[in-house]
A and B are shown apart, each in its own frame.
Chain A
Amino acid sequence: MKNEKNLAPRPGFVLDVDRTSPPVLFHHGDTFKLEKLPAGRSRVIYPPEPLEGLRDPDSAIRHALENPIGDSEPLSALLRPDMKLTIAFDDISLPLPPMRRPDIRQRIIEAVLDLAAEAGVDDVHLIAALAIHRRMTEDELRHAVGDRVYDAFAPSGRLYNHDAEDPEGMVVLGETPHGEDVQFSRRAAESDLVVYVNINLVSMDGGHKSTATGLSGYTGLRHHHNVHTMRNSTSFMDQENSELHASNWRMGKVIRDAGVKIFQIETTVNNNTFGRSGPLAVLQKREWEWSARDRASFVAMQKGLDVMPSSARRQIFNSWEAPYEMTSVQAGEVEAVHKITTENVYKQQIVEVEGQTDILTMGLPYISPYNVNSVMNPILVMCLGLGYFFNMYRGKPLVREGGVVIMSHPTPWEFHSVHHPSYIDFFEQVLADTTDPIEIERKYEKQFAEDEWYIHLYRNSYAYHGVHPFYMWYWGSHALEHLGRVIIVGGDSSAVQRLGFQSASTLPDALEMASDVVGPQPTITHMKNPPIFLADVK
């Protein structure tokens, strides 16, 4: 007998803070803070509760493969013995944090390979579509695709990381009408069928971006990973208003016209990031619903974390695997599939919010897409706050033009030298000179993108590509243009200064500093994220 009957998940909502409202939980890197927001003019956006996962994900996957969406035959009808089949899958940046085994990618890849085995396909390659992210380690690949798949394909070199700097391995398929080069993995381009396995954590992911970005390189990426595109993506989480997506869709068309057949499999997960029960469950509960046990475990956790060295804290959090559950799976033609995927993402993540605010506060967690099993360096702090959190909107930004963003994060001057070597240089050289994205792009991008040492480390070690820190900065360029000031609470002041932001030791101080920009008695909105939500701002 199971007694885990879940009550119907409640939608997200906006709490108006009054004098009786409890302090709000802020993520603060690998610690937490409880912050009291001013009564009468503050509100807190709470994410929706996790939706129920599919009861039987494996049969849902098989059903999706045989009942494709859009103009596509069932997968089994596309498989022939003498064909070249390439299965590309999302890399370590999805989902966040990494999910418990079995990973969705494993389930899908095994289902696809079952069909391929049945059809007698011999030539199969599996590629981690990581574009210019760092390569995945063996452990990470095993986690994503499962041991069975890894042991069957990796030793013979048929399961590997995409290499965007391999001169032999990359090919330019053509040019979009906008003059954008479409660069693509040669193996994928020469395959009879590319099956893409996606995990759609946020609405930015998936669609043509999976392949047009994931299997591309600097030659292709520079056309949409730039300041102009990012400033015209309002926001990049909203495909309808995103130049980032428009460009990827144009490239997708070129890829299709070049004869590359893509069978896209997309999945969505719920936002059960910290679990409905367990040590971190309190993080996704609303404060007034914390039971005595929740409160005790929170206090104990906070006190425990406070006395730990930061490396120990990092180790603890890096070992957390989210109990995400798959909420939908759909396969077939890219655009038709992605439409439904996006609806399913919205179903989980949308919270309606009335109007903008003067000050937007956010508690940044310990993880961003680019520091899984790594260190969250100051550039990633900027990117998570001003890139991702700021852009978690549809309609208009949560904060008004000229408003202030206050981020809470320790922002240590600390880098992972293996994963982020070019970030160190970016921080020491580029940001010391200027924080203006346009200037940075003009003056330094080419130098970093073509630096041989970075390319060597990207290809042979586990380093992000030399140009990657630039993209982090561009990700925040829409916010930088929109905002009047950015303040980081509790950060390393010299690192914060290098980022071009202001440093405050407490939230009240930061609010005080913000009022210089937005005037007295400003309105404040706090994003209680994660778990992730997308604000639909009216």
Chain B
Amino acid sequence: MKALEFRRNIPRYAAARLAGSFTPGRGSGVGPIRLVDADLPELPNQDWEIVRPRLSGICGSDLATIDGKSARYFEPLVSFPFIPGHEVVGDLQDGTRVVLEPVLGCLSRNIDPPCKSCQDGQLGNCEYVTFGEISPGIQTGSCCDTGGGWSIAFAAHTSQLHPVGKDLSDEAAVMIEPTACGVHAALSTGIEPEGTVTVIGSGTLGLVTISALRSYFPDVKILATARYPHQKSLALDLGADVAIAPNEIKRAVRRMTKSRAISLSTEDGNVDRLTGGSDAVIDCVGSSESITDALSVTRPRGKIVLVGMPSSVNIELTPLWHREIQLVGAYTYGTEKLADGSVARTFDLAADLVDSAKLDRLLSAVYPLSRYQDALEHAASAGHRGAVKIAFDLRSEKERDLL
């Protein structure tokens, strides 16, 4: 069975880091990822099923792993060798089309009683991802026992599977997982109905976040930074009020929030940071620069939500302290409490949003597994090349039908 396997290999890891620092995505050629002929994963117990992916997306965190940039933090939370791929729409053996909710929580690990987070329905926050019947792994795609989406088939716990309606195309369904992240981020801002939100970055995460914000907070003002023209027009289309270049963020937020500016001298007309600012900032980039920008445009007691995986950054935290800004993370999803008090699973909300906002348009290109290097490079330079989401298309793989 064809699969893209990621092995622990320190020299290759270093090579990937080097290559990736020159050309994003180039780590795929020299790094620890290889197209292999893997065995079909064994099912841990009767609650597991074989899923044959149809489309399998490439996520920003996958790319960081491939270019050797992901934090060592994850080392104990994964088990090698693993097959990446957690944004999956696929078929069950009986032909049902399903979407994967990749978190490997207490339920799938057969841990009873489950941890506190899982009890509360906050699957993403599961505390026992290194325990239980299967090997460590925060999600499908990082655990050596389950396989992952970048292959012909993998194993999934029935609790991870969400059947997809007939009307939803594969292209839409594969967007549900990333959209769920956006929904979770948007809802975790806890913003007032007429507040202001700044979204930094208009890649896949930024765009789905904008869409989610617009959907759940129809009256907030949304400002988005977008580096490329297609990102700008998509951001505006999905509900941003203003889309500007990343280096224009401070002036733009100042205008939107009618605040004043501070720089070396208050008189020199430059904008280093704002006196007031945005009620919430959602950082979908996660770099030192973007977090620093976020800190300079968030109002006192405002909130910064980190959606982009930050890895290790270097930031001046004085403003966080002085302005009493909250810096919170938003990793995956679980259960959401909506403004009207109702409770819903993030995945269900995301599925609705993908349908209503037609987020299938964010899928720009698909590749067969055999062209994985091209696919990964394309994904790594998606903005530059006018794309948003890149995915592997496994629907026409011959091996698929042999299973």
Chain A contacts to B: CB under 8 angstroms: 416-421, 424-425, 428-429, 432, 447, 451-453, 456-457, 460-463
Query: Is B311 an interface residue, CB under 8 A from the partner?
Result: no
Contact among B245, B260, B266, B267 for A452, CB-based, below 8 A: B260
Of residues B242, B252, B254, B269, which shows the largest number of chain A Cβ atoms within 10 Å of its Cβ?
B269
Given contacts A451-B258, A452-B258, is CB(A461)–CB(B252) below 8 Å? no
A418 to chain B, nearest CB (A): 5
Are the CB atoms of A453 and B267 closer together than 8 Å? no
- Known A418-B268, A432-B244, A447-B255; 7 more pairs at CB < 8 Å: A428-B248, A429-B244, A429-B252, A451-B258, A452-B258, A460-B267, A461-B267
Is the Cβ of B269 less than 8 Å from the Cβ of A428? Answer: no
CA–CA, A416 to B269, complex, Å?
9
Give the docked Cα–Cα distance between A420 and B251 (Å).
13
10 contacts between A and B (CB under 8 A): A416-B269, A417-B270, A428-B244, A428-B252, A432-B244, A451-B255, A452-B258, A453-B261, A456-B260, A461-B268
In the bound complex, CA of A452 to CA of B244 (Å): 22
State whether A424 and B268 are in contact (beta carbons under 8 Å apart), knowing that A429-B242, A452-B258, A453-B261 are contacts in the complex. no
- Which interface residue of B244, B251, B252 has the most chain A CB atoms within 10 A? B251
A429 / chain B contacts, CB cutoff of 8 Å? 242, 244, 248, 251-252, 255
Across the interface, do A425 and B267 meet the contact criterion of CB distance under 8 Å? no
B contact residues around A424 at 8 Å (CB): 251, 269
Say how far B268's CB is from chain A's closest CB, in angstroms: 5
Contacting A at CB under 8 A, from B223-261, are 242, 244-245, 248, 251-252, 254-255, 258-261
Q: How far is the CA of A452 from the CA of B254 in the complex (A)?
A: 11
List, in ascending order, chain B residues with CB within 8 A of A447's CB: 255
Residues in chain B near residue A416, CB distance under 8 A: 269
Size category of the binding interface on chain B:
10 to 19
Task: Name the A residues within 8 Å of B254 (CB-CB).
Answer: 453
Which of B248, B258, B269 touches A463 (beta carbons < 8 Å)?
B269
Indicate if the CB atoms of B251 and A419 lie closer than 8 Å.
Answer: no
A420 to B270, CA, bound (A): 10
Contacts of B258 in A (CB 8 A): 451-452
Report yes or no: B251 in contact with A453, Cβ–Cβ below 8 A.
Answer: no
- Nearest Cβ on chain B to A277's Cβ, whole angstroms: 40
Closest A residue to B247 using CB positions: A428
Tell me if B255 and A421 are in contact (CB < 8 A).
Answer: no
Q: How far is the CA of A419 from the CA of B270 in the complex (A)?
A: 10
Chain A residue at minimum C-beta to C-beta distance from B268: A418
B interface list, Cβ under 8 A from A? 242, 244-245, 248, 251-252, 254-255, 258-261, 266-270
Interface of A is mostly: helix
Give the distance in Å from the alpha carbon of A447 to the alpha carbon of B255 in the complex: 8
A415 (CB) vs chain B CBs: closest residue: B269
Q: Which residues of A contact B252 (CB under 8 A)?
A: 425, 428-429
Would A421 and B269 be within 8 Å (CB), given that A432-B244, A452-B258 are in contact? Answer: yes
Which of B248, B255, B259, B260 has the most chain A CB atoms closer than 10 A to its own CB?
B255
A452 neighbours in B (Cβ, 8 Å) = 258, 260
Give chain B residues whose Cβ lies under 8 Å from the Cβ of A451: 255, 258
Chain A residues whose CB sits within 8 angstroms of the CB of B251 once the complex forms: 424-425, 428-429
B244 / chain A contacts, CB cutoff of 8 Å: 428-429, 432
Q: Which of A418, A420, A428, A432 contacts B267 (CB 8 A)?
A: A418
Which residue of A has the minimal Cβ distance to B265?
A461
- Identify the closest chain B residue to A463 (Cβ): B269
Q: Are B269 and A417 in contact (CB under 8 A)?
A: yes
CB closest residue in chain B, given A416: B269
- How far in angstroms is the closest Cβ of chain B from A417? 4
Closest CB-CB distance, A423 to chain B, in whole Å?
10
- CB pair A417–B268 under 8 Å, yes or no, is yes
**Which residues of A are found within 8 Å of B260, using beta-carbon distances?**
452-453, 456
A237 to B90 CA separation, bound complex (whole angstroms): 72
B242 touching A453, Cβ below 8 Å: no
Closest-by-CB residue of A relative to B243 is A432
Residues of B contacting A432 with CB < 8 Å? Answer: 244
Q: Shortest beta-carbon distance, B136 to chain A, in Å?
A: 48
Across the interface, which residues of A come within 8 angstroms of B267, CB to CB? 418, 457, 460-462
Chain A nearest Cβ from B67, distance in angstroms: 30
Determine how close the nearest CB of chain B comes to the CB of A498; give it in whole angstroms.
Answer: 11
Contact of B255 among A420, A425, A462 (CB under 8 A): A425
Shortest C-beta distance, B264 to chain A (Å), equals 11
Kindly list the 4 A-B residue pairs having the minimum CB-CB distance in the complex, ordered from nearest: A421-B269, A461-B267, A417-B269, A453-B260
Whole-angstrom distance between the alpha carbons of A416 and B244 in the complex?
Answer: 21
B273 CB, min distance to chain A CBs, angstroms: 13
Instruction: With both chains docked as a complex, state the minimum distance between the C-beta of B366 and any C-beta of chain A, in angstroms.
Output: 33
Q: Which residue of A lies closest to B245 (CB)?
A: A428
Please measure, in the bound complex, the distance between the C-alpha atom of A417 and the C-alpha atom of B267, giving whole angstroms: 10
Cα(A453)–Cα(B254), bound, Å: 9
Nearest Cβ in chain A — how far from B393, in angstroms?
37
Who on chain A is nearest to B259 by CB? A453
Distance (whole angstroms) from the CB of B227 to the closest CB of chain A = 14
Q: What residue of chain B has the Cβ atom nearest to residue A420's Cβ?
A: B269
List residues of chain B with CB within 8 A of the CB of A419. 269
Which residue of chain B lies nearest to A422 when distances are taken between CB atoms in the complex?
B269
Kindly provide the distance from the CB of A462 to the nearest chain B CB, expressed in whole angstroms.
8
Q: CB-CB < 8 A to B242: which residues of A?
A: 429
Say yes or no: B269 contacts A457, CB within 8 Å: yes
- Using known A-B contacts A428-B244, A428-B248, A456-B260, determine if residue A461 contacts B269 with beta carbons closer than 8 Å: yes
Contacts of B269 in A (CB 8 A): 416-421, 424, 457, 461, 463
CA distance A198 to B185 in the complex (A): 61
List the B side residues contacting A463 at CB < 8 Å: 269
Assembled-state Cα–Cα distance A419/B267 (Å): 10
> Cβ of A462: which chain B residues have Cβ within 8 Å of it?
267
Interface centre among B252, B254, B260 (most CB of A within 10 A): B260
For A461, list chain B residues within 8 Å (CB).
Answer: 267-269
CA of A456 to CA of B260 in the docked complex: distance in angstroms?
A: 9
B201 to chain A, nearest CB (A): 18
Q: Which residues of chain B are near A425, meaning CB under 8 Å? A: 251-252, 255
Q: Complex formed: what's the CA distance from A416 to B252 in Å? A: 18
Q: Which residue of B lies closest to A461 (CB)?
A: B267
C-alpha gap A419/B252 in the complex (Å): 19
User: Which B residues are CB-close (under 8 A) to A457?
Assistant: 267, 269
CA distance A477 to B401 in the complex (A): 67
Question: In whole angstroms, what is the CA distance A419 to B269 when docked?
Answer: 7
Contacts of B261 in A (CB 8 A): 453
When distances are taken between beta carbons in the complex, the residues of chain B under 8 Å from A420 are 269
Min Cβ gap B205→A in Å is: 24
